[in-house]
Amino acid sequence: MAKVTFKEDICKGCQLCTTACPKNIIVMATDRINVKGYHPATVLEMEKCIGCANCALICPDCVITVER
Amino acid sequence: MAIVFEKTKGLTDKETHYCPGCTHGIIHRLVAEVLEELDVLGNAIGVAPVGCSVLAYDYFNVDMHEASHGRAPAVATGIKRAMPNNVVFTYQGDGDLASIGTAEIVHVAHRGEKITTIFVNNAIYGMTGGQMAPTTLIGQKATTCQDGRSKAHSGMPLRVSEMLATIDGAAFVERVSVHNPVEIRKAKKAIKKAFECQIKGEGFSIVEVLSTCPTNWGIAPTESLKWLEANMIPYYPLGNFRTPEEA
């Protein structure tokens, strides 16, 4: 059981987190934009998250908090 | 559930001005995490450079000082000599450290000043608009070498870590990268060792961090990570060049 939380409004949509996720569950939310005007990163299938924190490790903007 | 990763107290709440995907943000965080883990946030003094990271003083949650272009090691020398019990570091890019600041970085190592330098090498001038840096790779395009850097005209790219490792006063010299989570973890370990080297008074320590510049490279952030791995690491090999035992 693990969970990642994105502070969506500070995401710059760079997609680096999508390259680091071993489960490939991070996607860009193309149905919405944040205050900066980017599609923020999000996870749709949270039950697949293993809480490895790779996404948070590569995020340049400290968008992600990981719980496990 | 317990929190296994959250933003370090070593960074302020201010959002960075860096472009999307710029790895400066990762490197800032690693330095801040190390300072927090070493419990020196209240004791550290950073010196910001000129370049994209000129506003680093807004982001690090420690006392910061701004230096003129390339002179961060000289300013840090003064701070460290006046306050030897504080942990003093400079945060510099390749335009700052490897070009206008070569005299300062060579002589801070030569004197063995007990400071730590975080050297961010992205092979280009960022803030000023993508000009060729001493570290720009052969064939790499920049606004001042639009057909790609040529050896005949500009020489070979400068390998700063290898150069500094020849100097006796440089106690710790290591080159790391931040293009994937494995390398990011290694980079943090190196940065921690560098600060520990300073705290033990063993001499000058520097960590060169290979970084991306998606905007001025003209490549998407995720592709920039691959470009770094494919092009920069062959010329700038990762690894330790000097530890205190050898110095």
Best B3, B4, B5 member to test A by mutation, with max A CBs in 10 Å, is: B5
A54 close to B (CB below 8 A): yes
Domain ranges of chain B: 24-236
* Residues of B with Cβ-Cβ distance to A35 under 8 angstroms: none
The topology under which CATH files domain B24-236 is Rossmann fold (3.40.50)
HEC secondary structure over chain B = CCEEECCCCCECCCCCCCCCCCCHHHHHHHHHHHHHHCCCCCCEEEEECCCHHHHHHHHECCEEEECCCCCHHHHHHHHHHHCCCCEEEEEEEHHHHHHHCHHHHHHHHHCCCCCEEEEEECCCCCCCCCCCCCCCCECCCECCECCCECHHHHCCCCCHHHHHCCCCCEEEEEEEECCCHHHHHHHHHHHHHHHHHHHCCCCEEEEEEECCCHHHHCCCHHHHHHHHHHHHHHHCCCEEEECCCCC
Give the closest residue to B153 by CA, choosing from B139, B169, B168, B143.
B139
- What's the rounded mean pLDDT across residues B145-151? 97
* Structural domain count, chain A: 1
CATH number at residue A34: 3.30.70.20
What is the residue range of A54's domain?
A: 3-67
- Shortest distance, CA A56 to any CA of chain B (angstroms): 7
**Inter-chain CB proximity A67 and B2 less than 8 Å:** yes
Mean pLDDT of chain A: 97
Model confidence over A11-35: pLDDT tens digits? 999 999 999 999 999 999 999 999 9
B20 close to A (CB below 8 A): yes
Residue B237: predicted pLDDT: 98
- Shortest distance, CA A48 to any CA of chain B (angstroms): 16
**Inter-chain CB proximity A54 and B181 less than 8 Å:** yes
Find the residue in B nearest to A39 (Cα): B20
Residue B166: predicted pLDDT: 97
Closest partner CB to B3 (pick from A38, A59, A67): A67
Residue located via tokens 């570091």: B89
* Residues of A with Cβ-Cβ distance to B7 under 8 angstroms: 62, 65
The ipTM (two decimal places) reads 0.97
**Inter-chain CB proximity A61 and B11 less than 8 Å:** no
Please check whether residue B27 is in contact with residue B39, taking contact to mean a CB–CB distance below 8 angstroms.
no
- Shortest distance, CA B22 to any CA of chain A (angstroms): 7
Model confidence over B226-240: pLDDT tens digits? 999 999 999 999 999
- What's the rounded mean pLDDT across residues B32-51? 98
Mean pLDDT of chain B: 97
> Residues near B61 by Cβ (< 8 Å), separated by ≥ 6?
B9, B10, B11, B12, B32, B41
Residue B247: predicted pLDDT: 58
Residue B91: predicted pLDDT: 98
Residue B212: predicted pLDDT: 98
Confidence of residue B246 (pLDDT cuts 50, 70, 90): low
Which residues are bridge partners to B48 per DSSP?
A: B66
Question: Do the bridges between strand B44-48 and strand B87-93 make them parallel or antiparallel, or are there none, so unpaired?
Answer: parallel
Model confidence over B88-132: pLDDT tens digits? 999 999 999 999 999 999 999 999 999 999 999 999 999 999 999
Pairs across A and B, CB distance < 8 A: 78
